[in-house]
Each structure stands twice: as C-alpha cells, then as structure tokens.
Amino acid sequence: MNAKTSNEMTATIEMMDVGGRTLRVAHWRLDEPSDHPPLLFFNGIGANIEAVAPLAELLTERGFVMFDMPGTGESPDPTIPYNPFTMSWTATQILDHLGLEEVDVMGVSWGGAMAQHYALQYPGRTRRLVLVATTAGMLMVPGNPAALTKMANPRRYIDPKFMNEHFQTLYGGVDKDGAAHQKDDHIGRLKPPSPRGYFYQLIAMLGWTSLPALPFMNKEVLIMMGDDDQIVPLVNGKILNTAIRNSRLEVIEGGGHLFLLTHADESVATLRRFLDAPDGEDRAAA
C-alpha cells in the first residue's frame, strides 16, 4: 500500500513474509524509470524506517529500499536471535520479492556493519558500498563513555524528554544551519523498539568484525564520518579506509552521529558524487 505518515513520508509500505520472518518494508520509486540502481539501506540500532525517510525522499533520482529489523518499528518481535549472516540472507529475499538484482548498499552505524557483511556475503548483488558513521565491529575505537552508556539504554527511543536532554551528549555535532527543529523532527520520527527487539540487535553483532575480510573487498566504497561523532569517533573511519583498498573517506566538518540529517545537503551531494561517478573512477584515483 502507499503510505504517508504525519511526517510526510511517502513510500510504498509492505508487510513481507521473508526468511521465516515478517518484516515491515518500505520502498520508494521502484516503479519509476531510473538510470541508477536502487539503494538498499540498513538502519542504525533501534531505528525505524521513518528515522531515515528524509534521506530516501531527497534521493529522487533512484529507488530506495529499507526495512524495520525484527522488533523495531512495526516489524513483529523476533522469535529467535539472528546474526549478520541470516539478516543478509533475509535482505536478499526482500530484493527477490521486489524483483531487484543488483543494488548499491548503504548502512549507518549498526547498519553500517550490516552493510559491510552484506557486501562481503553477496558481492554479486552489490555494486557500490556506502558506510556512514560506522566501524569494523568489535575491533573499534570506542566513543564518549557518556554517549555509549546512554546509547545502550532504549529509553532514548521511549522518552522524548530524555532524548531531548541528552541529544548533544548522544550524538554530538553542530547543526550548521542552526535549525533546532531538525532535532525535534528526528525525535518525532522515532518509534521505540520492543525490549526483545533492541536486545537481539545488541547481541547480533557480539564478536563480529569485518576487519580480516576488508582487504579482500573488491568494491568501490565511500566512508562518511563526522568529526564530532560522540558514538563512533572519526578514527574508526580511518581504520576502514586503510583496510579497504578501493575506498575513499569523506569527513563532514561539525558532523555528529546524525550528520545525514543535520548536514543533509552536504551529505546527499557527497553521496551522489560517489554513486553517480563512472565505474572505476575511485580505483583509478587510488
């Protein structure tokens, strides 16, 4: 069905039975002609589709697909734990259902780890990879302890007052447009995950790291990091950039963990330059 939320999200929303799970899937513009492959997006921990809908709305020239993880948004609770392998396989079932073969893959934070795993597990279905405010998994340089402590608490999704009070500690960054309403808009888009859904997301990546496999990544990769990220310090992006031979690192000045939203114009321009570049351009420049 076509759906439009109170936050003006326009997308096609489906409840899909895939991989033995029922998941809420959103997609944009798949029925419109485009010279660009669709973008498969993996969200951050506990975040629902609406949290990143503004990005999908801005990328008007290409299709966009994302889904609520089990127990997140409007996807039902998981019955058993999952891991990056099983959720990457589930994502391919979603693409099959939508009739999509090759996609560009993008992920933010927790979802950036999922995006790495997907590209490594399904290189034949991945054209290019975009990693945003993310790490190589357990071999990461941790962020501000105050931010990490609050991040582990799902109260940030449940209690708008808590989120408002601790927003700067959690996410860092300076909104260069001075638009305080962007913080309020983001908080208004959040729907709390279930306790089980949040817990299963936390444990899904326990012990996981992509670092040994990254030197074998044969994809063009864009790494986007904010220089004021309190959760994922910039050094993690530098580690990824060193490990992935065909990668480039773009640093958003004044960007915190949510720079995709607070620095939307700059982020989208950077994203488009990378995704629309001729094949091999980054490799030739390396």
Q: Is residue 98 a contact partner of residue 27, using CB atoms and an 8 Å limit?
A: yes
Pairing state between β 247-252 and 220-226: parallel
109 catalytic per annotation? yes
Cβ within 8 Å of residue 284, ≥6 positions away: none
Q: What angle do the packed helices 160-171 and 181-189 form, to 10 degrees? A: 120
Catalytic residue among 75, 88, 109, 267: 109
Instruction: Determine the Cα–Cα distance for residues 205 and 94; give it in Å rounded to an integer.
Output: 21
Q: Is residue 158 a contact partner of residue 180, using CB atoms and an 8 Å limit?
A: no
Three-state SS for 126-137 is EEEEEEECCCCE
Q: Is residue 167 a contact partner of residue 183, using CB atoms and an 8 Å limit?
A: yes
Beta bridge partners of 107: 42, 131
**Residue 63 backbone phi and psi in degrees, to 5:** -70, 160
Residues assigned a catalytic role: 109
